[in-house]
C-alpha cells in the first residue's frame, strides 16, 4: 500500500470515528484500529489528533470545491451555473454535517485550538464561496445589491442553519428546498 493509499484509509477511518464518537471520544488508537494499521503509521502521517482532524476537514472541503468547480459549465447561463454549483455543494450534506457536528462539539468543549480551527474553516469556506461567485458567476454584488462577501457569508450561514439547525425545530428539509433557499440569496 502506498503512503497516499494509507493516508486515505486513515482519513476514512477518522471520518467514521469522529462521526460516531465525536472529537473528544476519538483517539489515534481507535483510528488506527479502524484503519487496520498501527498507531506508529498514523503518527508517521499525522502529528496529532488535531492534525488528523484538520487534514480530514481539508480533504472534505477540497472535495466540495472540486464538485462545485466541476458543476460549472462553460457557456451555460449564469442562472444554470448558480443552480448547478449550489446543488453540488448541497449534495455533500452528510460530509458537511460531520464537520459541523465536530466543530460544534469542540466549540462547546471550549477547546481553544479547535475554536481557532473552526474560525479558519469558516473563513476559508466564505472566501471560497466569494471567489466562486466572483470568478465563475461574474458577480460583484448580489441581485439585491448586497456586497458579495456578505452574500457569501449569508449563503454559508443559511446552508448551516438549514442542514444542522432547522431539523431541531421542523422536519428535515429535502436537498432541493435547501438549494432553492440558497439561490434566493443570489
CA dist., res. 119 & res. 88, Å (int): 23
User: Around Cβ 71, how many Cβ atoms within 10 Å?
Assistant: 20
The pLDDT of residue 143? 65
Segments of the chain with pLDDT less than 70? 93-99, 102-103, 106-111, 142-144
The pLDDT of residue 110? 66
Q: Is 145 left (phi over 0), alpha (psi -120 to 50) or beta?
A: left
What letter would DSSP give residue 163?
I
Q: Using alpha carbons, select from 160, 136, 148 the residue that is nearest to residue 185.
A: 148
Please report how many Cα atoms fall inside a 13 Å half-sphere around the Cα of residue 79, on the Cβ side. Answer: 3
The pLDDT of residue 86? 83
Residue 5 burial (10 A CB sphere; 0-12, 13-18, 19+): exposed
CA dist., res. 92 & res. 104, Å (int): 18
Instruction: Give strand pairing partners of 141.
Output: 147
Residue 36 — φ and ψ, nearest 5°?
60, 45
The pLDDT of residue 103? 64
The pLDDT of residue 165? 83
The pLDDT of residue 35? 96
Question: Is the separation of the CB atoms in 19 and 105 below 8 Å?
Answer: no
CA dist., res. 133 & res. 151, Å (int): 9
pTM value is 0.73
What residue ranges define each of the domains in the chain, with the CATH number in brackets?
Answer: 1-46 (1.10.10.60), 49-184 (1.10.357)
4, three cell numbers: 497516499
User: Around Cβ 112, how many Cβ atoms within 10 Å?
Assistant: 8
Amino acid at each position: 500500500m502506498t503512503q497516499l493509499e494509507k493516508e486515505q484509509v486513515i482519513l476514512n477511518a477518522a471520518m467514521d470515528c469522529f462521526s460516531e464518537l465525536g472529537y473528544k471520544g476519538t483517539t489515534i488508537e481507535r483510528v488506527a484500529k479502524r484503519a487496520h494499521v498501527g498507531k506508529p503509521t498514523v503518527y508517521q502521517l499525522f502529528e496529532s489528533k488535531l492534525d488528523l482532524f484538520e487534514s480530514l476537514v481539508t480533504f472534505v472541503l477540497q472535495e466540495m470545491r472540486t464538485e462545485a468547480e466541476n458543476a460549472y459549465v462553460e457557456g451555460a447561463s449564469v442562472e444554470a451555473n448558480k443552480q448547478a454549483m449550489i446543488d453540488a455543494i448541497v449534495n455533500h450534506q452528510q460530509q458537511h454535517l460531520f464537520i459541523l457536528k465536530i466543530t460544534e462539539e469542540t466549540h462547546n468543549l471550549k477547546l481553544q485550538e479547535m475554536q481557532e480551527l473552526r474560525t479558519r474553516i469558516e473563513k476559508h469556506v466564505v472566501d471560497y464561496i466569494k471567489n466562486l461567485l466572483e470568478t465563475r458567476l461574474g458577480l460583484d454584488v448580489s441581485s439585491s445589491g448586497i456586497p458579495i462577501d456578505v452574500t457569501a457569508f449569508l449563503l454559508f450561514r443559511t446552508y448551516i442553519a438549514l442542514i444542522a439547525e432547522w431539523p431541531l425545530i421542523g422536519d428535515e428539509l429535502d436537498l432541493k428546498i435547501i438549494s432553492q433557499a440558497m439561490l434566493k440569496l443570489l
